[in-house]
Amino acid sequence: MAVHSVTKRFGILTAGGDCPGLNAAIRGVCRAAYDRYGMEIVGIANGFRGLIYEDTKELKPEDFSGILTRGGTILGSSREKPFGAADKDEVAHEKVSAIKETYSKLKLDCLVVLGGNGTNTTGYKLYREGLNVIGLPKTIDNDIFGTDRTFGFDSALLIGTEAIDRLHSTAQSHSRVIVIELMGHKAGWLSLYAGVAGGGDVILLPEIPYDIKSIARHLEKRAKSGKTFSIVVVAEGAMSIKEAEMDKKDRKKYRLDNGPSAAYRVAREIQESTGMETRATVLGYVQRGGIPSASDRVLATSFGTAAAELLANGKYGRMVALTGTDINSVDLSVPEGKVKNVPTDHYMIDTAKAVGTCVGD
């Protein structure tokens, strides 16, 4: 444990989409920083917006007590990206200046940011601008480089799997194909894992463009063996081979014409290809809110206390991370501007195929 002589003072914020475990992580950072190291804590409202518009509040134990099991974030969140689309435009310049000013004015030693790829990337950019920043990886998508797991993923996995369980009985009773869409624009971790956990018959990921003919063959083979129902688990960003070959503009138009949700597009293609009665369900926001799972609380708490440790030791420009069975940290540049996709040779894809699931190809 580190020794430190001067009281440190840091700001903490949560940015990006809601994610189970945020409050558990906030509590972890704050309890360790306050009780163990006697630091001062400034809560920043609504992500980076609170830094830009100076919306902050000193946090005391009563603020971060009793929040371990609560969904959401006591700090509020927003999708504000201060660096904007391009780093150099004028608005971005003003926002970043405002952030730096607030940071100085609040006399912060460090900024702790909890978020996904975007948030940690912003954090890294601020670090390069001279601020001390520590990142915590949170997202239900589990798509951040540098850590084996993000908190939020396990809770979303539980919710998605429970939904698949419920749909199973309906699909079976009514001899139907049911398509369920789970979150995951770019990375298919959630659909892959929930699909395996729920015994999905087809799993479609953004990483593996699907061939509707393969899917149809698979469903027809099941039907022939007497299984007249099927569950198809589809990631938000799943696309057919045809879509994958389109350029961005054409794909956008295609989706506008053929239904905004992957589940509906896939359901229609299945019904047209097989003649089987097919229904679509989009689980939506339900996946990202509410009480965190036990595993997410544990992970979020240990990420939080590890961040406090980095703080105490003055190790800035780092993101806390799970590596195997250890909590570590990586350079905050690691996740920058990237998305950790499911490798097409990942063992879980082979697991899915080995139990008879069609993974789209």
Alpha carbon 246 to its chain centroid, in Å, reads 27
For 29, 38, 313, 314, 315, the CA distances from 3, given in Å and listed in that order, are: 17, 11, 8, 11, 13
- Per-residue x/- track, 207-236, its own copies (CB under 8 A): ------------------------------
5 scored as a contact of its own copies (CB under 8 A): no
Q: State yes or no: is 148 an active-site residue.
A: no
Q: How far is the CB of 361 from its own copies (least distance, A)?
A: 16
Could you tell me if residue 53 is left (phi over 0), alpha (psi between -120 and 50 degrees) or otherwise beta? alpha
Q: Judged by CB under 8 A, which stretch of 5-13, 128-136, 241-249, 344-352 contacts its own copies?
A: 344-352
Reduced to 3 states (helix: H, G, I; strand: E, B; else coil), residue 31 is: helix
The correct pick among 9, 242, 290, 315 for binding its own copies (CB under 8 A) is 290
The partner residues of 133 in beta bridges, in order of sequence, read 111
Residues 27-86 within binding reach of its own copies (CB under 8 A): 27-28, 31-32, 35-36, 46, 68-73, 76-78
Under rule CB under 8 A, which residues in 77-96 are in contact with its own copies?
Answer: 77-78
Q: Which is nearer to its own copies, 9 or 36 (CB)?
A: 36
Q: How far is the CB of 93 from its own copies (least distance, A)?
A: 26
Q: Is 348 in the site for its own copies (CB under 8 A)?
A: yes
Six token digits for residue 342: 């499911």
Residues 136-165 that bind its own copies (CB under 8 A): 148, 154, 157-163, 165
Cα angle 194, 138, 320 (rounded to 5 degrees) comes to 125
Nearer to its own copies, 80 or 269 (CB): 80
Q: Closest approach of Cβ 83 to its own copies, in Å?
A: 21
Strand segments, DSSP code E, in the chain are 9-14, 40-44, 56-58, 110-115, 133-137, 177-182, 202-204, 230-235, 278-282, 318-323, 326-331
Catalytic residue among 35, 89, 109, 141: 141
Binding window for its own copies (CB under 8 A); candidates: 5-13, 87-95, 246-254, 282-290 = 282-290
Cβ-defined contacts of 103-109 (< 8 Å, 24+): 103/11, 103/51, 103/131, 105/54, 106/9, 106/11, 106/42, 106/56, 107/9, 108/9, 108/10, 108/11, 108/42, 108/132, 109/8, 109/9, 109/10, 109/311
Shortest CB 110 distance to its own copies, Å: 17
Number of shown-chain residues binding its own copies (CB under 8 A) = 82
For position 193 contacting its own copies by CB under 8 A, the verdict is: yes
Judged by CB under 8 A, the residue of 302, 315, 339, 361 near its own copies is 302
The answer to whether 124 and 135 are in contact (CB under 8 A) is yes
- For residue 49, which amino acid is it? R
Residue 93 gets which letter from DSSP? H
Stretch that binds its own copies, among 87-95, 131-139, 167-175, 237-245 (CB under 8 A): 167-175
CA distance 49 to 315: 25
CA distance 341 to 309: 30
Member of 306, 310, 321, 358 binding its own copies (CB under 8 A): 306
CA angle, 175 as apex, 172 and 176 as ends, to 5°?
Answer: 95
Q: Which of 8, 95, 138, 297 binds its own copies (CB under 8 A)?
A: 297
Nearest approach in angstroms of CB 216 to its own copies is 19
Binding test (CB under 8 A) with its own copies, winner from 217, 289, 316, 339: 289
Under rule CB under 8 A, residue 271 binds its own copies: no
- Distance (Å, rounded) from C-alpha 313 to C-alpha 159? 38
**Binding of its own copies by 336 (CB under 8 A):** no
Q: Considering the complex, what minimum distance in angstroms separates the CB of residue 68 from its own copies?
A: 5
Q: Counting runs of H as helices and runs of E as strands, what totals does the chain give? A: 13, 11
Residue 99 or 263: the one with the smaller Cβ distance to its own copies is: 263
Identified binder of its own copies from the candidate list 279, 333, 339, 341, rule CB under 8 A: 279
* Residues with catalytic function: 141
